[in-house]
Amino acid sequence: MARKKISLIGGGQIGGVLAQLCALRELGDVVLFDIVEGLPQGKMLDIAEVGPVDRYDVNLKGTNSYEDIKDSDIVIVTAGLPRKPGMSRDDLIEVNSKIMTSVAEGIKTYAPNSIIIVISNPLDAMVTLCQKITGFPYNRVIGQAGVLDSARFATFIAWELGVSVKDVTAMTLGGHGDDMVPLVRYASVNGIPVMELLEQKYNDAEKAKEVMAAMVKRTRGAGGEVVALLKTGSAFYSPASSAIAMAESILKDQKRVLPTCCFLQGEFGVNGFYVGVPAVLGEKGVENIIQFKLDAEEQAMMDKSVAAVKELVGSMK
């Protein structure tokens, strides 16, 4: 059986971690593309040379030519400028739109049958632009945001309750920005509602609500928190791992239900926009969007988040 081919567009921090994770998990042969000469070649040589130590055996190639992404099964796009302290994701839109335009044209030409996962910010706008330029079916162009946002939410819950992160289930919906929607009602520890556990811990329903509100706020600003601490660049380990979870589900047809930036056609009352929702990811990309009822408060937050996405997409030239 031929090995799968994974192409990574953008040889920065996220691109390098993506390449290493693909190799460690032996997901397939990997091509790392960047416009800077020597950068992707050097990173891939570095990763290849540790194969005997980490016991993986896949082909790893760094390149400055889109031709090398030919016949990719999956393309993960990280190309674009990272955020700097004080910048919002939206500030990046003009410069990263230009970068995404040339990337999408390269993918369309050389990897026309691939499934694309976009990580570049501002996420919701970049996925929209990528799909528009490639003309690929909507199920084959998706964005990574919800897996990471949900993981951040789950991390904060685990720390607060003193339980293993492995046993926390939490999910965020909506756009990848300050208006994202962490679903408090559905957050659980091995099926037990988090709010119930917080009320037990504090023996006070109001205090439990306050603590949860602080975690929701921290989740919404979690990317900015990392940016402020690093001072140069933005998070890279966590977005890379999150995209790999999506890629692995697609490459191995695992049918995992993961929060994914998908094109909605009526689901959750949204039509014609890319928004984060739970989706089944398999060999065809998005195979199903999981719908469920939001309560009035959740729906109001979702509407606000979708409005922010619409405004962001509308601001693209």
**Annotation marks residue 176 as catalytic:** yes
Asked whether the CA dihedral 224, 230, 234, 239 is positive or negative, the reply is negative
Q: Measure the CA angle with vertex 23, ends 50 and 142; round to 5°.
A: 150
Q: What is the Cα–Cα distance from 13 to 16, expressed in whole angstroms?
A: 5
Q: How many helices (H) and strands (E) does the chain have?
A: 11, 14
Contacts of 84 (CB under 8 A, 6+ apart): 227, 232
Contacts of 139 (CB under 8 A, 6+ apart): 284, 285, 286, 287
Asked whether the CA dihedral 80, 172, 169, 258 is positive or negative, the reply is negative
Q: What is the Cα–Cα distance from 272 to 39, expressed in whole angstroms?
A: 38
User: What would the two tokens of residue 39 be?
Assistant: 């950068």
Q: What is the Cα–Cα distance from 10 to 104, expressed in whole angstroms?
A: 12
Among the listed residues 176, 182, 219, 278, the single catalytic one is: 176
The burial class, CB within 10 Å (0-12 / 13-18 / 19+), for 169 is: middle
Q: What residues act catalytically?
A: 176
